[in-house]
Amino acid sequence: MSKLVAPHGGKGLVCALLEGAELEAEKAKAAGLKQIEISDRAKGDLIMMGIGGFSPLTGFMTKADWKGVCENFQMADGTFWPVPITLDVTAADAADIAEGSEIALVRKGEVFATMTVSEKFEMTEADKKWECEKVFMGEGEESVDGKFWEIAPEDHPGVIMVMAQKDVNLAGPVKVLSQGEYPVEYPGVYLTPAETRAMFEERGWANVASLQLRNPMHRSHEYLCKIAVEVCDGVLIHSLIGNLKPGDIPAPVRVKAIDILIENYFVKENVISAGYPLDMRYAGPREGLLHATFRQNYGVNNMLIGRDHAGVGDFYGLFEAQDIFDRIPTTGDAAKDLLCKPMKIDWTFYCHKCDGMASLRTCNHDKDSRVILSGTKLRKALSDGAEIVDHFGRDEVIVHLRAYYEGLTEKVEVKMQGAASGDAM
């Protein structure tokens, strides 16, 4: 019997991806169905439902699920879930789709899934704003004192995405027909939950931590991983390989940076690098919960949560993504509750007086002795062609990242915020 944490939802890995003759038959049927163009976000959500990453979800959420998730972190049946997984269509398309009918879900000419529509529900402007306030409004300075709606419509990628959604959501189970480009473009990196679980089992791991990455891996990330390696059997460095906002560094560059670090600074048997196919939602605390939820499906029972996890701008408090784990509902039913727990790590940095990596819990020196580390700060320095201070990143990684930036033909302005600059320390 496996010693790994059970998949979320108590039903094992729930995989909607078809294979073999069943896949070919469904593809043939999809050609005759009404085709709905979906967003990149929905494409990533579908792939995760296909491979079991979103267990126990079998499709896009009903209105009751959507409302319960936004309001109480629970679907209609009481199962924990932190962010809505919904599919939006135009009112005109919705009018042509009867409840109980089947449709094909298409992205840029490729059919990703078929769907049996169980429900249609309108999303008014007020509904979208309510979802944004529940999911994206935090405790940072850009969310409080009435500032959220002054700033978020222009500066928060998640809010912009939700407010741009079409006016009707469709709910219902899906049959997934494709994993998109990921198996071909990221061989050995794009791994399914079944594959990571098998790798953990093979290595004899039972207590597994995961590091979420959307930025190149700098010294603080390395330090977090090594803390986890000391107290767990191993660490999954799990990179987002879906879409990011403009100015973020693309996945192949980030994956190569991780490879460089593992090759030179880790015991390879204690770490696995992998990628997952979602788009970033920038939901801060809620997204931290989502990361823990689907990491549980990958076999992870400890989610590393540091400063400003999954944040953007100054919408969230520095450690709000840690605190939210203490406020989520529990039912006492392991099948419905979140089992992956947070590993809460304080603000980390390089300290010249300590002569090494440290945190606010271990270092008593003044701010001037510390090198404040953040992905945003690193990206801004690289984008501006500025000098990278000593101990910010490993030399081999900085050389690799500089080569990427020198090859860019168009510069994207990187906005600094308090959480990244160290001003809030």
CA distance 173 to 401: 42
116 confidence band (pLDDT: 50, 70, 90):
very high
Q: What are phi and psi of 38, to 5 degrees?
A: -110, 165
**What six digits make up the tokens of 415?**
């906005």
Residues 6+ apart with CB under 8 A from 109: none
Determine the distance from the C-alpha atom of residue 166 to the mean position of all C-alpha atoms in its chain, rounded to a whole number.
23
Spatial separation of the C-alpha atoms in residues 254 and 215, rounded to whole Å: 7
Judging by beta carbons within 10 Å of its beta carbon (0-12, 13-18, 19+), is residue 311 exposed, middle or buried? buried
Model confidence at 425: pLDDT above 70? no
| DSSP assigned state of 276 | E
**Confidence at 387, pLDDT banded by 50, 70, 90:** confident
Q: What is the pLDDT of residues 267-293, one digit of tens each?
A: 999 999 999 999 989 999 999 999 999
Is residue 105 predicted with pLDDT exceeding 90?
yes
Q: Measured between alpha carbons, how far is 311 from 149 in angstroms, rounded to an integer?
A: 17
Task: Check 215, 297, 301, 302 and give the catalytic one.
Answer: 215
So what's the pLDDT on residue 411?
Answer: 66
Q: Tell me the two tokens of residue 127.
A: 């509904």
Structure confidence by residue, pLDDT tens digits, 174-231: 999 999 999 999 999 999 999 999 999 999 999 999 999 888 888 889 999 999 999 9
Mean pLDDT of 337-343: 98
pLDDT over 70 at 384, yes or no = yes
Place of tokens 């009018």: 95
pLDDT of residue 415: 59
Is 338 a residue whose pLDDT tops 80? yes
Over 60: is that where the pLDDT of 73 sits?
A: yes
Tell me the C-alpha to C-alpha distance, in Å, between residue 409 and each of 110, 245, 255, 386, 405: 30, 18, 22, 17, 9
Q: What is the pLDDT of residues 236-268, one digit of tens each?
A: 999 999 887 777 788 999 999 999 999 999 999
pLDDT at 418: 54
Name the residue with tokens 């169980």: 118
What is the pLDDT, as a whole number, of residue 129? Answer: 98
CA angle 274, 279, 285 (to 5 degrees): 90
Active site annotation includes 215? yes
Of the pLDDT bands very low, low, confident and very high (cuts 50, 70, 90), residue 424 is: low
Q: What is the DSSP string of 27-90?
A: HHHHTTSEEEE--HHHHHHHHHHHHTTTTT--EEPPHHHHHHHHHHSB-TTS-B--S---EEE-
Given the residues 41, 214, 307, 394, select the one marked as catalytic. 214
Return the closest-CA partner of residue 195 out of 50, 46, 291, 298.
298
Closest CA to 293 of 113, 135, 57, 77: 57
Q: What share of the chain is helix, strand, coil (3-state, %, to 5)?
A: 35, 20, 45
Q: What pLDDT is attached to residue 413?
A: 62
* The pLDDT value given to residue 133: 98
Q: Which domains does the chain have, with CATH numbers?
A: 20-182 (3.10.400.10), 193-421 (3.40.50.620)
Establish whether 295 is a catalytic residue: no
DSSP codes joined into one string, 73-131: SB-TTS-B--S---EEE-HHHHHT--TT-EEEEEETTEEEEEEE--EEEE--HHHHHHH
Give me the chain's average pLDDT, please.
93
- What confidence score (pLDDT) does residue 386 get? 80
Compute the CA torsion angle 334, 136, 141, 303 (nearest 10 deg): 30
